Structure 1
Amino acid sequence: MAVGRIPAGKHLNRNRLALGPDAQEIAKTTHWSLLRDADAIAWLVLDRAGESTNTLSEPVMTELETLLGQVEALQPKGLVLRSGKPGGFIAGADIRDFAGVSQTDVVEGRMTQAHALIDRLAALPMPSVAVVHGHCLGGGLELALACRNRIAVEGAVFGFPEVLLGLHPGLGGTFRLPALIEPLEAMKMMLTGKSVHTAKARRLGLVDAVVEERHVVNAVKAAISGELKPTKRGAGLSRFSFYRGLAARKMRSMAAKRAPEEHYPAPHRLIDLWEHHGAGKKEVMQKEEIHSFARLLTGETAQNLIHVFFLRESLKAGGKGASGIAHVHVIGAGTMGGDIAAWCAARDLRVTLSDLDEQALAAAIGRAGKLFDKRLHSGVARRDASDRLTPDFAGDGVKQADLVIEAVAEKAEVKRKVFGMIAPLMKKDAILATNTSSIPLKELRTAVPFPERLLGLHFFNPVARMELVEVVSHDRVSDAALARLAAFCGSIDRLPALVKSSPGFLINRVLTPYLTEAFVMLDEGVQKETIDQAAVSFGMPMGPIELADRVGLDICLEVARTMQSGLDIALPDVPGWLESMVAEGRTGRKAGRGLYTYDRNGEPRKSTKYPEPHSAITDRLILPMLNTCVTCLREGVVGDEKTLEGAMIFATGFAPFRGGPLRYARTRGVEEIVGALERLQAQHGDRFKPDPHWRKLPAN
């Protein structure tokens, strides 16, 4: 039976979510149910039909307006807003309603109607309570803010992630949140997009009570009766314009470091709103919020970031399903192997980690503890994660593991030797995955008797921050093993990008011309800070010189050699100084010195005096990446544009506000890109020769 056809009360009961005793359904729409319990309290339950998660679409809001009218006529003792989804409250607006929007006046009209509805909820003559479990984000939080009280079920998460879409809150969040909690904390939540968990939400005053699910009904009764007093921290010094001006200047300075205004205007418009209207009349702030939100939504940055949101959803969909993987054995306790093991343990998997070096094992366990402290939000969760991660010097875990991940040195002969030792010990249905960053699997599969269960599983550094994982197939891999490994990525909250085995796979294949061109420019005498600034100004998270140090110059050298020997493409020769630096141990950030030297915090020491980059430098870095993306599409290294675009954004940080490399190319103009490549080819050689597939790209 479809969820939409189950009465809300039964659905809540089935998922052990509390509802008032003897609640009777008195109205039902497609997405909402209105119930009344024995204490004359109305329960308005959202259970969006045909969706796994509640979001606020236009039909959802229209139905809410109708039911609020019934609530006003019913005059219950109080109103409770709940979700019928076991996963959470409301995840925000339905982003599908935002894509392709271009008319500012139309957006303003729609938002004005939505505000009138939220205001109507806030003005109800009876007490209103939002009961929140799971996620409560964006428009969902704005709906909860319109209620008199908010009760959180232990484990709830609250946030305003709109800034990640190039927006700021648009349903009253910009004025209701600062009016409820300390304004600077409110601005921090909205400017960073970071969520706060239950305990912090209570400390901030965002919620009035935190309860276990079994105590929800009693907490609701206390709220309706007035025993649970609403929390309100007040505006404090923020009511003074002088104070807001000082705070706004500091906010702008911090925002500019993370999100330059020319690329990401939303944080700066939010600061403007708060500085100029934060202590004025609510009606003025509301009008300005609507106007600012509409202009941002119809702007290029927001539309590109919405495109990126759907790219992420597409990759995420590839990780659905059951993997059957409960025990992971990782071989190699270096930075990558140790961090992969820690991440899997933090995501509820049993993990054994082996290495021939006991000190490396100890260091990896130490790093894992720091990860758990940072990422897990309770002592119990941290303890359980530590219990799931077992140092395994003898390597016995390989016999019980459902998945064995090899993360040893990036040398084919070393990996083949490891495979030969462990293959006879593995379970008959276990998957063997290599974390190689560039070695074609056909060079490795000869070392195992089951090539159909050997795949690539290429994580990126740092593992805890980089969402994308390349799942690498070859022509003898089984579909079942490929599907299981993709589902495994989904189970550990990672985005699987399915690519075919080829030197460098997708990401390193695309990054190699980017890095090697930077090395060529170094040889030409261009200052490294100038090169890096050209990339950062374009929108990359860091420049190619710093990236090479971050990846490790030894890894860069091995990848470059693999690419040169395995592909018939024009690449610059590996510079002699790179080989010398690696031989001397100057391998980059991990060694404390590479192309830059690094301080004790791992930050590069850069000169503040360098020539400003010009557009020719930017094109020499960026256009070879775009050209290689098109080559990978033509060769079938990646199956479709969505996977390519998403992989580039979530693995390399390719300027998200540009929407992806091919979206950028189309915005700039494919013919213009091809012409620029041809000019660079005439000036610098065939490594810039445009791929013939440019002419076959669809217009959209």
Structure 2
Amino acid sequence: MAMNGFTFEKDAEKIVTITMDMAGPVNAMNDEFLQLMHETMEQLEKEKEDIAGVIITSGKKTFFAGGDLNKLLSFQKGEEEAIFNFIEKNKSYLRRLELLGCPVVAAVNGAALGGGCEIALACHHRVVIDDSAIRIGMPEVTLGLLPGAGGVVRTVRMVGLEKALPILMEGKKMAPGKAMSLGLVDELAADADEMMKKARAWIKDNPQAKQPWDIKGYRIPGGDANKPNIVQILQMAPGMLYQKTRGNMPAPEGILAVAAESLRVDFDTALRIESRKLTHLVLTPVAKNLITTFFFQMNALNAGGSRPRGVEKSKVSKIGVLGAGMMGQGLAYVSAMAGIEVVLKDISMAAAEKGKAYSDKLLSKAIKRGKMDAAGKQVILDRITPSVEDHDLDGCDLIIEAVFENMELKHKVIRATEPYLVQGGIYASNTSTLPITELAGASEKAENFIGLHFFSPVDKMPLVEIITGKNTSDETLARGFDFTQQIRKIPIVVNDARGFFTSRVFGTFIDEGCRMVKEGVDPVLVDAMGRQVGMPVGPLTVHDEVAQELTLKVSETNQELDQTLHGNFCAINPIMDEMSRLLVKEYKRGGRIHGGGWYDYHDNGEKEIWPRLYDLFHKPDVKLPRQDMLDRLLFRQSIESIRCYEEGVFNAVQDGNIGSIMGIGFPPYTGGVLQYINTYGVKEFASRAMVLAEKYGERFTPPTLLMEKAEKGLLFQ
């Protein structure tokens, strides 16, 4: 019989199948779910004496999607009791399910993430279809939350603390086989029919099934809080966690705390502790930031938020990549992995072959990890053709040039290779700073020319910055967007401007670090402030990785462009350019790849600040307030981002937020450059910016758009 979204069917063998098929595209833990679970449990408990077992499955492609993030986002300070009661009511039904008194099996026919995984854990047995597209896991930590429907407590009791912590604190989404190897899944099935047969068979074989923790004498796998090795884990984990989060991400700390406490108390008390901690996390700014950006804004972006409407979806079958260096070799790999034929062209066959060898190396690593076999590797390698001949590009749907950042060189390459595109094919530049409109000047079809700015290493970095030139057509933009998604990257769309968005803003982070060094701050402290504020590495370290040599060459190119285009781009980050010139010209320190820059590098992988910096810049009497240093590093990037938004460099807040995190490493806990301002408080941010401007310079002066929003009480959204 139907129960308004859950189907309740009892067969002749008294096995009940509950098929979850809620309103909307997915099943989710919302108010409808609570009502359906209430009705379901009332029915099951009423008939339990006449039930041999229960199978929980889904009528949708996914098993269960997770919690109601709109509801969680709507909660405000002062509603702690309502949040706690909502969480407790939710998990109470799962507790009643596992205490029903008959075997309960989760028949997982699709993705079971977050709340879906927790429902499965509350069953006595889990059978999952062995489909590589299905994912199992609890990714709540990535949204600033913890699994609050019993996920933390049950995982610790199922697999033990040592195995549970990585599952919970990393939030990985696992294929069924991996989840089974970790103990979250009990059986795999080839298809839906076999899944249901295995579920029914298990019920018949285990008529008295209970959860392990509900059986007298149960002990947690690996030991409880009194076992020496568990004590050692609990002593070391906080320090190791702080090294990763710098105290900026409360969710992993909350998971660790709940997991540790659950070792010391009974099961039901542990569930309440979990509810209290989730109540706290729901109201943190970090959770609201992560949910806003990584769920709602990311979903809007992936759904084509910045893609022109009315243009038919397209796919690339053959691509030409010009330049087999770091960017080109990565482009060849990700394209071949997506099933695209690749011509990897360089000026010598040795260079082109070396570029292809990069894919060989990555695929060999995949084989070692058991993610691929030799035959699969060969199929992918066969898609990449190294070349020195332009005519090999004939028939390409897309050509991407990834040659050195020099306008004259790029123009020469574009003119030579563009004729080999298919009719209506598009040409793209991987430039990080040069104007697309200027580059398109060498094209016969400027409307088919676009910028596709990848980040290094291409195989790991998820973002692609799509840049439209003055003449780029909507169809070309749509095709560039589609290609980006075809190779499983995240696209943001920006308009043509010097440095575009990511490079322009990223430079401010390095520039601000350089300024502090020039002011006399200890360079070790400058880099430490970058890490403490949540950037992946400090500004001096990343400057060494980019290379002062490259920074100087790009600066010289931009100085020429400033004269040609009557611009003032070099005025944005002048101290970065000044310090790069000094280090390279005076002291031959061009960056890590050139032997050293701000740091000296040793063969054993260690590094230390170049001692001469203390003679050149350090002033022991300079003691900047710690908060000022932290704020300067983040405010500088956010203010430059507002200027980009104000100037129309990007048009959607989601592109700014996601681009800043995925492209330049802006701290994820902030939700991105503009969400950071929203959380700080737009008025408060503007006031603090004025203080910083008075103390440190006009680069912190609030832009007009910021002041307008502050005066009107508006957010960036």
Tell me the distance in 1 between the aligned counterparts of 2:292 and 2:596: 38
What is the Cα-based RMSD across aligned positions, in Å? 3.1
Which secondary structure does the structure 2 equivalent of 1:424 belong to? helix
1:285 matched to 2:270: yes
Matches within 5 A, 1:529-544: 529-544=524-539
1:108 to 76, 84, 93: 84
| 1:12 counterpart residue number | none
Range with greater deviation from structure 2 (243-252 or 430-439): 243-252
Tell me the distance in 2 between the aligned counterparts of 1:266 and 1:224: 37
Cα offsets for 1:528-567 (capped at 9, x unmatched) = 3222222222222222212222333344334444555264
How far has the Cα of 1:245 moved from its partner? 2.7
Tell me the distance in 2 between the aligned counterparts of 1:90 and 1:272: 27
Going from structure 1 to structure 2, the CA distance change for 1:163 and 1:381 (only over 3 Å counts) comes to farther
2:168 to 171, 190, 206: 190
- Determine if contact 1:207/1:231 at 8 Å carries over to the other structure: no
1:650 matched to 2:650: no
Matches within 5 A, 1:198-209: 198-209=176-187
Matches within 5 A, 1:627-638: 627-638=639-650
1:624 matched to 2:600: no
1:79 matched to 2:54: yes
| 1:46 counterpart residue number | 20
Which secondary structure does the structure 2 equivalent of 1:496 belong to? strand
1:157 matched to 2:135: yes
1:358 matched to 2:349: yes
- Determine if contact 1:323/1:485 at 8 Å carries over to the other structure: no
Which secondary structure does the structure 2 equivalent of 1:430 belong to? strand
Q: TM-score with structure 2 length normalisation?
A: 0.85
| 2:426 counterpart residue number | 431
Matches within 5 A, 1:425-504: 425-504=420-499
1:235 to 203, 220, 226: 220
1:276 matched to 2:272: no
How far has the Cα of 1:107 moved from its partner? 0.8
Going from structure 1 to structure 2, the CA distance change for 1:266 and 1:593 (only over 3 Å counts) comes to same
Range with greater deviation from structure 2 (686-695 or 248-257): 686-695
How far has the Cα of 1:382 moved from its partner? 4.8
Going from structure 1 to structure 2, the CA distance change for 1:559 and 1:137 (only over 3 Å counts) comes to farther
How far has the Cα of 1:405 moved from its partner? 1.7
1:578 matched to 2:580: yes
Going from structure 1 to structure 2, the CA distance change for 1:415 and 1:616 (only over 3 Å counts) comes to same
Going from structure 1 to structure 2, the CA distance change for 1:252 and 1:504 (only over 3 Å counts) comes to same
Going from structure 1 to structure 2, the CA distance change for 1:194 and 1:635 (only over 3 Å counts) comes to same
Query: How many equivalent residue pairs?
Result: 671
| 2:203 counterpart residue number | 224
Cα offsets for 1:124-178 (capped at 9, x unmatched) = 3332222224432111111000111111222243222111122221011111112
Tell me the distance in 2 between the aligned counterparts of 1:133 and 1:604: 50
Going from structure 1 to structure 2, the CA distance change for 1:684 and 1:200 (only over 3 Å counts) comes to closer
Going from structure 1 to structure 2, the CA distance change for 1:109 and 1:444 (only over 3 Å counts) comes to same
Tell me the distance in 1 between the aligned counterparts of 2:640 and 2:261: 47
Going from structure 1 to structure 2, the CA distance change for 1:222 and 1:349 (only over 3 Å counts) comes to farther
| 1:18 counterpart residue number | none
1:166 to 130, 138, 144: 144
| 1:377 counterpart residue number | 371
- Determine if contact 2:344/2:356 at 8 Å carries over to the other structure: no
Matches within 5 A, 1:292-303: 292-303=277-288
| 1:315 counterpart residue number | 301
1:211 to 178, 189, 196: 189
Cα offsets for 1:258-315 (capped at 9, x unmatched) = 1133x21222222222223324310110111111111111122222222222232232
Going from structure 1 to structure 2, the CA distance change for 1:536 and 1:300 (only over 3 Å counts) comes to same
Tell me the distance in 1 between the aligned counterparts of 2:499 and 2:661: 17
Tell me the distance in 1 between the aligned counterparts of 2:552 and 2:22: 52
How far has the Cα of 1:394 moved from its partner? 3.7
How far has the Cα of 1:631 moved from its partner? 1.1
| 2:568 counterpart residue number | 568
Which secondary structure does the structure 2 equivalent of 1:539 belong to? coil
How far has the Cα of 1:582 moved from its partner? 5.5
How far has the Cα of 1:49 moved from its partner? 3.4
- Determine if contact 1:77/1:126 at 8 Å carries over to the other structure: yes
1:119 matched to 2:121: no
Tell me the distance in 2 between the aligned counterparts of 1:395 and 1:581: 39
Tell me the distance in 1 between the aligned counterparts of 2:664 and 2:24: 34
- Determine if contact 2:298/2:658 at 8 Å carries over to the other structure: yes
Equivalent residue letter for 1:281: D
- Determine if contact 2:141/2:170 at 8 Å carries over to the other structure: yes
Tell me the distance in 2 between the aligned counterparts of 1:165 and 1:194: 12
Going from structure 1 to structure 2, the CA distance change for 1:672 and 1:291 (only over 3 Å counts) comes to closer
Cα offsets for 1:469-490 (capped at 9, x unmatched) = 1110122111111112112222
Going from structure 1 to structure 2, the CA distance change for 1:312 and 1:371 (only over 3 Å counts) comes to farther
Tell me the distance in 1 between the aligned counterparts of 2:535 and 2:44: 51
How far has the Cα of 1:602 moved from its partner? 6.2
Tell me the distance in 2 between the aligned counterparts of 1:205 and 1:157: 15
- Determine if contact 2:514/2:575 at 8 Å carries over to the other structure: no
Which secondary structure does the structure 2 equivalent of 1:252 belong to? helix
Going from structure 1 to structure 2, the CA distance change for 1:121 and 1:424 (only over 3 Å counts) comes to same
Range with greater deviation from structure 2 (265-274 or 598-607): 598-607
Cα offsets for 1:54-108 (capped at 9, x unmatched) = 432221232233234344556454322223333x322321322211312211111
| 2:705 counterpart residue number | 693
Which secondary structure does the structure 1 equivalent of 2:423 belong to? coil
Tell me the distance in 2 between the aligned counterparts of 1:194 and 1:297: 20
Equivalent residue letter for 1:345: A
Range with greater deviation from structure 2 (470-479 or 364-373): 364-373
Tell me the distance in 2 between the aligned counterparts of 1:284 and 1:487: 50
| 1:368 counterpart residue number | 359
Cα offsets for 1:200-256 (capped at 9, x unmatched) = 322222211222116323322332222799997962442242533321122212211
Equivalent residue letter for 2:273: E
1:69 matched to 2:42: yes
Going from structure 1 to structure 2, the CA distance change for 1:678 and 1:274 (only over 3 Å counts) comes to closer
Range with greater deviation from structure 2 (450-459 or 401-410): 401-410
2:66 to 85, 89, 92: 92
Equivalent residue letter for 2:668: P
How far has the Cα of 1:652 moved from its partner? 1.8
- Determine if contact 1:238/1:279 at 8 Å carries over to the other structure: no
Which secondary structure does the structure 1 equivalent of 2:465 belong to? strand
How far has the Cα of 1:494 moved from its partner? 1.9
- Determine if contact 1:57/1:93 at 8 Å carries over to the other structure: yes
Going from structure 1 to structure 2, the CA distance change for 1:215 and 1:401 (only over 3 Å counts) comes to farther
Tell me the distance in 2 between the aligned counterparts of 1:94 and 1:600: 51
2:407 to 406, 409, 412: 412
Which secondary structure does the structure 1 equivalent of 2:83 belong to? helix
Tell me the distance in 1 between the aligned counterparts of 2:328 and 2:210: 48
Tell me the distance in 1 between the aligned counterparts of 2:210 and 2:447: 60
1:515 matched to 2:510: yes
Going from structure 1 to structure 2, the CA distance change for 1:642 and 1:478 (only over 3 Å counts) comes to same
Tell me the distance in 2 between the aligned counterparts of 1:585 and 1:487: 44
Identity of aligned residues (%): 29
Q: TM-score with structure 1 length normalisation?
A: 0.87
Tell me the distance in 2 between the aligned counterparts of 1:182 and 1:396: 60
How far has the Cα of 1:607 moved from its partner? 8.6
How far has the Cα of 1:438 moved from its partner? 0.9
